[in-house]
Amino acid sequence: MSEAIAGRPEVVAGTPLRRSGARFLKRRRAVLARLAGWSLVESGQTFLLGYALARALDDGFLDGSLAVGVAWLAAAAVAVGAGAYGTARVYGAVADLVEPLRDSLVRKVVDRGLYAPDGAAVSRLTHQVEIARDTFAGLVLVSRSFVFVTVGALAGLCSLAPVLLLLVLPPLVLGLALFVAALRPMARRQEAFLTADEAIAEEAGAAVGGLRDITAAGAERSVAAAADRRFDAERRASGALARWSVCRVLALGIGGRLPIVLLLVAAPWLLDRGVTAGALVGALAYLSQSLLPALQSLMHGLGTAGTRLGVVLRRLTAVPAAGAADARPHRVPRSGVAVELSGVTFAYGPHADPVVRNLDLTLPVGGHLAVVGPSGIGKSTLAALVAGMLEPGSGEVCRPGTEGRVLVPQEAYVFSGTVRENLLYLCPGEVADAEVAAAAEAVGASALLARLGGPDATLAPAGLSAGERQLIALVRAHLSPAPLVVLDEATCHLDPAAEARAERAFAARPGGSLIVVAHRISSALRADRVLVMDGVHARTGRHRDLLRRSALYRELAGGWEHEGAGATPSAGDVPLQPALPARDADGVDAVAGSRLAGDGGHVVAHGAGRQMQDAGDLGDRGALGGQ
């Protein structure tokens, strides 16, 4: 992720799905009203289908009036066309419900994958989120269709002959009751199936990633047996789910097909009590062409997709079990402290050397810290630990909540949309144009925003340079409510003057704290304190203090001695003498930038440049590699 600040997912982990679902729908009352209106237009054909057939027979064809019969059939045809138009509009309203749910779930899955990673994260993001999206759309379609079609069909039956309801309502209610009673057991079987699916994904991922090790250790049979057990568990779960699906078939037979049989059997009895032949034909049309298909779609949708949706939403939004990464006890920093690290050690793997080792660090509120060190030494890892993208293997990181920090990386994230949408991506509420303009002016992006056409202009990421994307990300972070900002070489594509302006803007935020992973030593000169990382020890202090105490910092500072003037130093500009007097009894000291071939920052003799010997020419070729 580019900027690590929590969004506000509308399906909240740990809250009951019923409450989360009600909150989600409540925020989209206008969409629901539009959906109901177009559904009403769509279902108009349901009422007219049976009623028009009855009138066409009774008042038209059976009464000897061909024109009346054709007119009623024409009315039914017009209703079908209107219903088709309503159906097209229904799909647009459904999309306005489905896509926000999908976006919310994706944010939740990504957030959980970052803070509580496990082997099932890929299955959740690529499989289960799409299941939730598709099944929610299907559920909305079939449920609102069943409601409106059933109301239209029952109203039509009542208008033809109220006695018809006696043959339809009891089996319909009984079938629905049986189906509802089977939903919970089917949901449990569906959950067991998804658990087995996740286990297969985790087992297969581990096996594929370790094929060489498996072959080298001769563990093919044991790994295959473990995978076979996972597949057997999924097969058993699938079989149990299929057996419970028989209840759905039985419920459909009782609620949808039994009323048709009862209508045919009771036809003579109904005719004796004044029900016309047209009414019987219309009733048969209501049952076979409207009610039965709607009931079948509902039971198929709820029985398969609906139970799956409930299970998937619970799994996607559940709070991770104890022991997961984000279940780690979290302690907020002490009063007056922005972030605090105590004995933090982190390694990329159980057998890898630690990138960060036993680090203690405290940044006060309003503090400005620069992190410097050679490439690959762990500066970005430290930034990720502070931002919460990584959790330490040991030690503790006390930082503000997810809405209290923002990480801006070297590769800035810019998406297709308007400039305003990109700038306000991390803002929970509305932001005035004046505030946007002030933030852009502070970080030096006003000219860029003007060139793009202002906040409401369309932004094409491919048309921006790397530096322009960084400016967009910097304005976004400046507008965010997060008091702690971590810039992980977030200005590397800007010139020194633009970088200085951006860093000063963040340092001047009221109550804000700033950590800068520096790629120029000028960032260290602007900071209150500097953290020097060398892979073994970490030292903090002010610039002048570190020049005296840290040979590595002198090397880094010497390499950029002329940077303060805004110029990049050349090899000839950097003096060959060490930055400070030698303190070694043998007259050698670690210095920066001899600019000789093969120089890796090794120790050289004090003296004029002509007396130095290139590291590559040293005569010792022993165990230390000739250095």
Dihedral through CA 599, CA 604, CA 608, CA 613, nearest 10? -60
Sequence-ordered list of residues with C-beta below 8 angstroms from that of 445, at least 6 positions apart, any chain: 471, 472, 474, 475
- Angstrom CA distances, 383 to 408, 501, 530, stand at 10, 21, 14
Residues in the chain: 627
Higher local confidence (pLDDT), 234 or 217? 234
**pLDDT for residue 331:** 66
The reply to whether domains 17-319 and 337-545 share a CATH topology is: no
**Helix residue ranges, H only, 8-58:** 17-26, 29-55
| Beta-bridge partners for 55 | none
Each residue's pLDDT tens digit, 435-485: 999 999 999 999 999 999 999 999 988 899 999 999 999 999 999 999 999
Higher local confidence (pLDDT), 411 or 116? 411
Cα-flanking dihedrals φ and ψ of residue 407, to 5°?
Answer: -115, 125
- Angstrom CA distances, 366 to 362, 484, 515, stand at 12, 9, 10
Chain centre distance of CA 413: 14
Q: What is the CATH number of domain 337-545?
A: 3.40.50.300
Sequence-ordered list of residues with C-beta below 8 angstroms from that of 497, at least 6 positions apart, any chain: 566
Is it the case that residue 372 has pLDDT exceeding 70? yes
Each residue's pLDDT tens digit, 167-181: 999 999 999 898 888
| Beta-bridge partners for 397 | 341
Sequence-ordered list of residues with C-beta below 8 angstroms from that of 154, at least 6 positions apart, any chain: 165, 168, 169
Half-sphere exposure in the Cβ direction for 282 (13 Å, CA):
34
What's at 556, amino acid-wise?
Answer: L
**pLDDT for residue 298:** 82
The two structure tokens encoding residue 212 = 């060489």
Domain boundaries, the chain: 17-319, 337-545
Each residue's pLDDT tens digit, 299-317: 877 766 666 666 666 666 6
**pLDDT for residue 488:** 93
Positions of E strands within 450-587 = 458-459, 484-488, 513-517, 529-533, 538-541
**pLDDT for residue 614:** 36
Q: What is the CATH number of domain 17-319?
A: 1.20.1560.10
Residues 333, 336, 341, 343, CA torsion sign = negative
> What pLDDT band is residue 236 in, cutting at 50, 70 and 90?
confident
Each residue's pLDDT tens digit, 49-106: 888 888 888 888 888 889 988 998 888 888 888 878 888 888 888 888 877 877 777 7
- Angstrom CA distances, 26 to 34, 90, 416, 530, 596, stand at 14, 19, 29, 50, 70
Each residue's pLDDT tens digit, 375-398: 888 899 999 999 888 889 889 999
**pLDDT for residue 478:** 94
Sequence-ordered list of residues with C-beta below 8 angstroms from that of 167, at least 6 positions apart, any chain: 259, 262, 263, 266
What's at 173, amino acid-wise?
Answer: V
**pLDDT for residue 572:** 36
For the segment 419-446, the average pLDDT, to the nearest whole number, is 92
Name which of 304, 310, 254, 280 is nearest 21 in CA terms. 310
